[in-house]
Each structure stands twice: as structure tokens, then as C-alpha cells.
Amino acid sequence: MICLENVVTTYRTRRGDVNALNDINLRIEKGEFVVICGPSGSGKTTLLMTIAAMLHPTSGIVSVEANSLYAMSVQARAKFRAENIGFIFQMFHLVPYLNILENVLLAGGTVNNSNKNAKALELIEKFGLAGRHYHKPAELSAGEKQRTAIARALLNNPKIILADEPTGNLDSDNATSVLGYLSQFHKAGGTVILATHGVEAGRFSDRIINLHNGKVANPDKP
Ligand SMILES: Nc1ncnc2c1ncn2[C@@H]1O[C@H](COP(=O)(O)OP(=O)(O)OP(=O)(O)O)[C@@H](O)[C@H]1O
Ligand SMILES: [Mg+2]
């Protein structure tokens, strides 16, 4: 279970403070497929990064399976992230200098697994990119880049996938196939949290959480 208690995140900039998350309280059960919906600037990316153990909140507690993410050492948090969480970024975040195979292997983190190369090749094939593993991201279409990003997110067999606008840059066929892969991961027991300002992902999800100005607009009943 993922649990957020009184989470506040304020970005401090030279032009002043920006309150991105304003007292978020949230529980997401293991195996749920949750969609975080909200307009641009409502805090979706900030919330996902916070759950992904990548962004220390200004205050509040974030825990995954009773592990308090920001009470851990930096090293322990990185290990926990590598072993449990796959992240699909809003703009793919593929490294332009590395080929597809190397980009997928980037998810290596601290997990040591001699079969990683074979697993990466298997995922690349599964996502319809067989034969393209030595290509650079610039040589791929948007849909292919996103499938590479999904392969990377799945490399370490995570329990949780966090997907930030994974279909935002895709046409409807590619969007449907990406949502299909996430749905497969969910049906196999994985937890999915997907942020979007669209509505198309709603049909795959168990629950929609609406975010407005860094607040949950439809909070859990006590
Ligand atoms: N590094 C930063 N420094 C200062 N303010 C930031 C930073 N990152 C985000 N913000 C601000 O925090 C708020 C929430 O941003 P966030 O990126 O989480 O929104 P979002 O819902 O993901 O938006 P979008 O749909 O456009 O991706 C916005 O007001 C944004 O301007
Ligand atoms: Mg965003």
C-alpha cells in the first residue's frame, strides 16, 4: 500500500515560493490502477515524483508497504526505488547518446542481475522493437520511444509503475497500445498510477483522483 500523509511540497525559487502540493492525504492499495487527473500545473508530476522516491516533500510522510521513503538514507531510497518502482516520464527521457538497448539497461540501478541483458532484449522484442536495439532514440517514432521507456520501466520487475502522461505525445493507436501494456501489468498484480489531463485512461482504471491546485478534489472518505 502507498500512503501519503499531510504531504506539502513547495518549490523555492528566486522569484518566490510555488506551492505544488498542498496537504495531500492519499491511500493507494496494492494492485490498484489509479488515474491522477488534473489540469496543467495542478501538481501531477510533482505528486508522481514524490511517490517515486525522487522528490523530497517539504513536509509530510510518504510510505510504500510501510517503508517511509524520506526517512531512509539516500542510498537505501535509491535501492528501494530501483527494486520496486518503474517510472515512465512525461517526455520519454531517453538518453540521446545511448542506443535503445542501453537506454533500457539504464534502469539497472543498484539491482544486480546477470540476466539483465537478456531481459532487456526480451522486453524490446515484446514491445515490437526487435531489430532496433542498436538505434538511437532520434531514429525512433514517438510511439517507439514510449515503448522503449516502458521497457526500461519494466526491466527490474517493479511492483509499482508510475506513468506521467504516457500517452500525451502519441496518436490514438499508439496510446491504446501503451494503455494496453499498462493494463497487462495491472492484471498481473502490479500497481499503476498514471497522471493525465485526458480522460482516455479512465476506462482502464479502478479509480480517478482529481487534483486541483495541489489538492485532492475528491478525497478518500475517512
Ligand atoms: N522546479 C520547479 N520550480 C518551481 N516551480 C515548479 C517546478 N516544477 C513545477 N513547478 C510548479 O509546481 C506546480 C505543479 O507543477 P507540476 O509539474 O507538478 O504540474 P502538472 O500537473 O504535472 O502539470 P502538466 O500537466 O503541465 O505536466 C506548477 O505551478 C509548476 O509551475
Ligand atoms: Mg506534468
Instruction: Specify if 69 maps to a domain.
Output: no
Q: Which protein residues have their CB within 5 A of the ion that is ligand 2?
A: 44-45
Quote the domain boundaries for residue 139. Answer: 30-54+82-216
pLDDT at 108: 67
- CA proximity to 7, closest of 21, 28, 17: 21
Give the CATH number of the domain where residue 191 resides: 3.40.50.300
Binding site membership of 18 for ligand 1 (Cβ less than 6 Å): yes
CA gap 81, 113 in Å, rounded: 16
Count of the separate structural domains present in the chain: 1
pLDDT at 114: 66
Do 10 and 18 form a contact (C-beta atoms < 8 A)? yes
Q: Which of 43-52, 69-78, 167-176, 199-208 has the lowest mean pLDDT?
A: 199-208
Pairing of strands 2-13, 16-28: antiparallel
Q: Is the pTM of this model over 0.75?
A: yes
Instruction: Specify if 8 maps to a domain.
Output: no
Rounded to the nearest 5 degrees, what angle is found at the Cα of 186, between the Cα atoms of 98 and 136?
A: 10
Mutate to test the pocket of ligand 1, among 21, 44, 162 (most ligand atoms within 8 A of CB): 44
Residue of higher predicted confidence among 222 and 52: 52
Look at the chain and count its residues.
Answer: 222
Q: What is the mean pLDDT of residues 194-204?
A: 79
| Residue 45 alpha carbon to ligand 2 centre in Å | 4
pLDDT at 8: 98
Alpha-carbon separation of residue 3 from 45, 49, 67, 107, 193 (angstroms): 17, 14, 10, 25, 13
pLDDT at 110: 47
pLDDT at 127: 87
